[in-house]
Amino acid sequence: MADEPSSPNPAASIDLYKFILPNPDGSLNRATPLFPIVPPTLTPPAESFRTKSNSNTPQLVLSKDIPLNPETKTFLRLFKPHPLPPNPHLALILYFHGGGFVLFSAASKPYHDTCSEMALSLRAIIVSVDYRLAPEHPLPSAFDDAVEAIAWARSQASDVDGRDPWLKDAVDFSKCFLMGSSAGGTMVYHAGVRVSDVDLSPLMIRGLIFNQPYFGGVQRTQSELKLIDDQVLPLVTSDMMWGHALPKGVDLDHEYCNPTVRGGDRRMRRLPKCLVRGNGGDPLLDRQREFAALLQSRGVHVVSKFDEGGCHAVELFDPGMAQVLYDIIGDFIECCCE
């Protein structure tokens, strides 16, 4: 008997819709057994470096949580390669996770693992932002939290004596990047334009990294119609998440959702270098291409990386595709820091 063909999509069994359950009060019961919450790793296992104690090459990643805003209950999860080499001068990457603004956390296993892998692969300090979720906190709450995280990074750059110990002797604050995946990519855009005319020195944001940013619009694109029943992000699920995230009474052409409305935010011309990453199996591909073209038309230096294969959030499920993404990001960081 011939072997049954394997699923071409490693995330084929995922249906986010069934995990987003509304409560009578309008909040959500986020039943996500596929994406458990994991604790940070503050210290390395005792046996990890018995044979490599003199090595300066990072072998694993440590992580810890620190508060961002106790009133809003937001926090940051820091990821640090271990051990650090002498005088590391690592880049600082502020990372915003995906989930359609309604799901997941910086502590959700796929995003915790992704940030750990990026810290090791890119030799960088990753700061993953646990922001407020809709519908309990509709947009622009998540954008506000992103700006607050940037303000935190600026305060860390300015206050040498009060700097977090993990950053104090490790980070070069002139090499800061904003990175987001899916909805996190949308946050990078809105936070980026908000701070584009703000003096953040001594913090310097060198570049923005958009990994399959999550955009929408009233007029359906060809890729949305072609992949209307996509196994990872079907159109009905995407519309439902936007319905939870957007302010009441607005449609998908609201500026929070569609960055191309009325030619885009005039402040985008001030954005630093941008990397826009997309995959051919993502229903949002056409919107990502349109977004990259809009940035470029406004004079922004854009590096576009669009592949034929892959699905939405493929790096969470396919280690090979994840490494391709990390290599692209590494090249972009190197280019921005030359």
Tell me the pLDDT of the chain (338 aa) as tens digits.
333 333 344 444 456 666 677 778 777 777 656 678 999 998 887 555 444 545 667 789 999 999 999 999 999 999 999 998 888 999 999 999 999 999 999 999 999 999 999 999 999 999 999 999 999 999 999 999 999 999 999 999 999 889 999 999 899 999 999 999 999 999 999 999 999 999 999 999 999 999 999 999 999 999 999 999 998 999 999 999 999 999 999 999 999 999 999 888 999 999 999 999 999 999 999 999 999 999 999 999 999 999 988 999 999 989 999 999 999 999 999 999 98
Q: What is the pLDDT of residue 54?
A: 52
Catalytic residue among 82, 112, 244, 312: 312
Contacts within 8 Å (CB) and 24+ apart, 245-248: 245/100, 245/101, 245/102, 245/134, 245/135, 245/138, 245/139, 245/142, 245/183, 246/138, 246/139, 247/138, 247/139, 248/138
Contact 76, 127 (CB under 8 A): yes
**Amino acid found at 137:** H
Q: What is the pLDDT of residue 161?
A: 85
User: What is the spatial distance between Cα 333 and Cα 303, in angstroms, rounded to a whole number?
Assistant: 11
306 bridge partner residues: 278
Active site residue 182: yes
- Record the pTM: 0.92
Catalytic residue among 105, 182, 223, 238: 182
Q: What is the pLDDT of residue 253?
A: 98
Catalytic residue among 145, 282, 286, 318: 282
Q: Does domain 57-336 have CATH number 3.90.230.10?
A: no
